[in-house]
Amino acid sequence: MSETFKAILVSRDDDKKQSVAVAELTEADLMEGDVTITVEATTVNYKDGLAITGKAPVVRRWPLIPGIDFAGTVLSSSHPDWNTGDHVILNGWGVGETHYGAYAARARVNGDWLVPLPGKMSAHDAMAVGTAGYTAMLCVMALESHGITPERGPVVVTGAAGGVGSVAISILSKLGYHVIASTGRSAEAEYLTGLGAAEIISREELSAPGKPLGKERWAGGVDAVGSMTLANVLSMTSYGGAVAACGLAGGMDLPATVAPFILRGVSLLGVDSVMAPKALRLEAWKRIGSDLDLGKLKALSTTIGFDGIIDAAHDIVEGKVRGRLVVDMQRAPGHTPKV
């Protein structure tokens, strides 16, 4: 008899009503792929919260194991790049959306989707970074490629207490940038300054309708919020500046004008982590290994077990999570999750 393992399954009935349950699966239940991995750590991203709660159409195959990233050890492989025992990371590629994802003890994926775990990082470290931190690094790299250096002036980070924001602040501050953190959670001021934020502003300063062009306040920004917040960030970006946009926590709309683009030469840099080419992923994870203070990962991450994933998914969508949530898949079970 094949060994069974626990997995979270998101399903939908004929009336398109979504449900979530913990199921027992075997490796035979996994989808096609040429590498099978023992999942040692994963994380709960905002996108995972949307998938489990059904508050946005993240899941596009039913039933599905959610979870868009993981770190683990290769169990078996027919892919030329990977051997049994290799330590690997996966971010994106439709995993947790159209392909069975991380919330199970085993995963089977296309070996082309994997990158090696940086030498000095553990699986736990990698998931304290996770897709949110990897996306934050892609944003930093996008700003750098546009010439936004520390000498150009301050940079703003929106959704600062969230996963992308927390890692972005840590990376940018280590690189020498003057970081302005925008948050709706004033109680997190000490946490944000501990990560390296030089200034903290209230989310309300950016969330209300503003002018097409505001006072120039920063040379660049990392935005994970979208909507009116992104519109205001753009309107306050200085001449020739750039904003890297990677999220939609505040909405998918962009109620902006073309004024910042045609009067100040501001650039809006779209950042996608899901389908980013492998060369860019390898560079991002190399940079994470060198430019992120791993000591700060402890401050910006909380560890839970498999049995805490479903509750955490609800919490992150409701804005109750600070920083990063790491799921230790080998942690002993605790309470029964609410399903």
In whole angstroms, what is the distance from residue 209 CA to residue 119 CA? Answer: 46
In whole angstroms, what is the distance from residue 256 CA to residue 233 CA? Answer: 10
Tally of domains in the chain = 2
Do 164 and 227 belong to one domain? yes
287 lies in some domain: no
Q: Which of 54, 13, 70 is nearest to 314 (CA)?
A: 54
Are 315 and 50 contacting, i.e. CB atoms less than 8 angstroms apart?
no
Q: Which amino acid is at 265?
A: G
pTM for the model: 0.89
Q: Going residue by residue through the chain (339 aa), what tens digit of pLDDT does each one get? A: 578 999 999 999 999 899 999 999 999 999 999 999 999 999 999 999 999 999 999 999 999 999 999 999 999 999 999 999 999 999 999 999 999 999 999 999 999 999 999 988 999 999 999 999 999 999 999 999 999 999 999 999 999 999 999 999 999 999 999 999 999 988 899 999 999 999 999 999 999 999 999 999 999 999 999 999 999 999 999 999 999 999 999 999 999 999 999 999 999 999 999 999 999 999 999 999 889 888 888 888 999 999 999 999 999 999 899 899 999 998 856 433 333
- Identify the three-state secondary structure at position 222: strand
305 lies in some domain: yes
Do 96 and 139 belong to one domain? no
Do 322 and 249 belong to one domain? no
pLDDT tens track for 87-143:
999 999 999 999 999 999 999 999 999 999 998 899 999 999 999 999 999 999 999
What's the CATH code of the domain at 154?
3.40.50.720
- Backbone torsions φ then ψ of 272, nearest 5 degrees: -115, 130
147 lies in some domain: yes
Do 77 and 174 belong to one domain? no
Do 106 and 209 belong to one domain? no
Are 196 and 172 contacting, i.e. CB atoms less than 8 angstroms apart?
yes
Do 176 and 252 belong to one domain? yes
Do 150 and 69 belong to one domain? no
Do 232 and 161 belong to one domain? yes
277 lies in some domain: no
